[in-house]
Structure 1
Amino acid sequence: MKRVSFAEFGGPEVLRLEDAEEPHAGPGQVRIAVRAAGVNPVDWRIREGQVLKAHPIELPSGVGLDASGVVDEVGEGVDGVEVGDHVFGEGVSTYAEFAVLSAWARMPDGLTFEEAAGYPSVVETALRVLREVGVRSGQTLLVSGAAGGVGSAVLQIARDRGITVIGTAGAANQDYLRGLGALPTTYGEGWVERVRRLGRTDAALDLAGSGVIRELVELTGDPNKVISIADLDAPRYGVRFSGVAGSVPDALAEAVALIERGGLHIPVEKTYALADAAAAHVDSQAGHARGRRVLIV
């Protein structure tokens, strides 16, 4: 089969589309013929060697955690899924023609493979950080970097829970945030005062890693009310860095329930061929996303 891999840590140029042995489903796993693979910031952070404690790997390594596709192998001890089922979920080396998933769910009706590949890690992360930051119905959450995949999920899940959200994003994404129910404002000079004018900040999430941890602590008044998924220096300010996946099967089940009742939709901003994974990483690292980037297999 073909898969994207890298033999050394570095920039996007280390990614190669190469021939590889097909993986097979072990106990508690399924294998899918991949139709689409989600592109996540953690993918290029791993490629650069940034997050090895959370994601230890051996080189050469495949790339990717999220995928959607058609089940073609079912491992020992797996019930409730059959060859031919359309599923989405999390695994390893998903930038490939075949991938093994350790957590999955049936794709909701009406969801395309491209859309489905954008949900697994994004929804798990959104649910996890909302739980960890402890924000409740009636309170206000500030989301820095709100227009990307995780931000899009956070805004919709928070709205569903009765939480007011103030979201920062570029000027071009203000209407997008407003459409997801957030109070939008731009980042850049004066952003802290613009946030203050929109209301009290009970908790905050840093989703972009743009060096705003100090200001988020200032706005909330408590480093325990701030969570970052993108700034490895966050602990210097007493802020928790949350980069390790939690209960993925539960997150996928909640994602399906939200999607089926119309409470969650994450758009696909751009798709790429498998051979263009390096370009997808370049775009992901540049930021300014609106929704998700996905590789088509």
Structure 2
Amino acid sequence: MALQWIATRPGDLDVLVLEERDVAPPGEGEVTIEVRAAGMNPADAKHVARGKSEDFPRPVGYEVAGVVSAVGPATTIASGPVSVGDEVLAFRVVGGWASELTVPARDVFAKPEALSFDEAANLLLAGSTAAEMLHVTGVSEGDTVLVHGASGAVGVSLLQQAALVGASVIGTAGPHSFDTVARFRGTPVAYGPGLEDRVRELAPDGVVAALDCVGTDEAVDVSLALVADRDRVVTIAAAERARTEGFRAIAGAMPKSAAFRDAVRPELVRLAAEGRLVVPVARTFALPDAVEATRFLMEGHPGGKLALRP
């Protein structure tokens, strides 16, 4: 028997229930993972709140790290051969807020030794989202770009991945988070009234792309004022404005986004293994405290990633 968080219906945190469930034995192309850490993302709660009734009840959580406890016949994982006892990470899975679960082996990778279980469980959702934002806006060496929400999980991954391709980033944040932006080689700028002017002062030659991780009207308005080419403005949080105003919106549920994010996973794991992509973890919670942890996450500014530990 395993513990697993289930959303019984669409709604707020009161629809989440921790249940005991049997873990299905792995078939061909599957492995069972004893979870050591489950990643936490705003998407976990948002997809529960906005889901369709016919999709419930549904288990919660998209990424985990742990130890392989069983392997299906004739099965290898995405990174190669696998054995019971191997340390792994997995994304994208269904029901990661659990003590053990069986998942498709194609979504499982050997865990880099450089990462703790807490870090590994939080690598790929934010990392693949950031990678896609850079990809669709064509960010390359020598570019100066604007990132809204640069101190958040996706923002921190954007800072690192942009630096790896040789781009410079101006990143919006609150003053309390300036050190985080600077740590990852970004130039911090305070959001709030006058943001457009402050960015123009920092980038007198302009910014070639704007990447929005927050979805505020300010972020969208400033992006459109600074970047003439709307193909080089992308959001993960203001889809309606993107639809009406003709700039890009991406999401993991979109087929093109899903395909890109699946394809980029091995590269992100490699970068993490080489120590070139790190995952700041702010706090961990016991698995039964997932509701408290989610409330803390959704209040904003956790200062890094959160992990649930069974």
TM-score by length of 2: 0.89
- Counterpart residue type for residue 132 of structure 2: R
Q: 1:214 to 1:2 in 2, by over 3 A?
A: same
Alignment match, 2:132: 128
Alignment match, 2:112: 108
Contact in 2 for aligned 1:227/1:241 (Cα 8 Å): yes
Deviation at 1:249, TM superposition (A): 5.1
Q: Deviation digits for residues 80-132 of structure 1, max 9, x if unmatched? A: 11111100121110001112333121111132111111102111111111111
**Residue correspondences, number:** 293
RMSD, matched Cα = 1.8
- Counterpart residue type for residue 209 of structure 2: A
* Aligned equivalents of 2:261, 2:75: Cα separation in 1: 16
* Aligned equivalents of 2:190, 2:24: Cα separation in 1: 45
Deviation at 1:34, TM superposition (A): 0.7
Q: Which ranges of structure 1 fall in alignment gaps of 5 or more residues?
A: none
Alignment match, 2:42: 41
Contact in 1 for aligned 2:132/2:261 (Cα 8 Å): no
Does 1:281 pair with 2:294? Answer: yes
Question: Where do 1:180-191 residues align within 5 Å?
Answer: 180-191=184-195
Pick which of 214-223 and 155-164 moved more.
214-223
* Aligned equivalents of 2:54, 2:36: Cα separation in 1: 24
Q: 1:57 to 1:126 in 2, by over 3 A?
A: farther
* Aligned equivalents of 1:222, 1:110: Cα separation in 2: 39
Work out which of the residue numbers 51, 56, 59 in structure 2 matches 1:59.
Answer: 56
Deviation at 1:25, TM superposition (A): 3.0
Alignment match, 1:231: 238
- Counterpart residue type for residue 237 of structure 1: E
Deviation at 1:283, TM superposition (A): 2.1
Q: 1:107 to 1:223 in 2, by over 3 A?
A: same
Contact in 1 for aligned 2:115/2:273 (Cα 8 Å): no
* Aligned equivalents of 1:223, 1:94: Cα separation in 2: 36
Q: 1:240 to 1:25 in 2, by over 3 A?
A: farther
Alignment match, 1:171: 175
Deviation at 1:229, TM superposition (A): 1.1
Deviation at 1:291, TM superposition (A): 2.4
Alignment match, 2:221: 214
* Aligned equivalents of 1:46, 1:70: Cα separation in 2: 27
Alignment match, 2:101: 99
Does 1:197 pair with 2:201? Answer: yes
Work out which of the residue numbers 251, 262, 265 in structure 2 matches 1:243.
Answer: 251
**SS of 1:246's equivalent?**
helix
* Aligned equivalents of 1:28, 1:93: Cα separation in 2: 18
Q: 1:49 to 1:21 in 2, by over 3 A?
A: farther
Q: Which ranges of structure 2 fall in alignment gaps of 5 or more residues?
A: 253-257
Alignment match, 1:254: 267
Q: Which has the higher contact order (CA 8 A, sep 6+)?
A: 1
- Counterpart residue type for residue 235 of structure 1: R
Fraction of identical pairs, as percent: 35
Deviation at 1:24, TM superposition (A): 3.7
**SS of 1:13's equivalent?**
helix
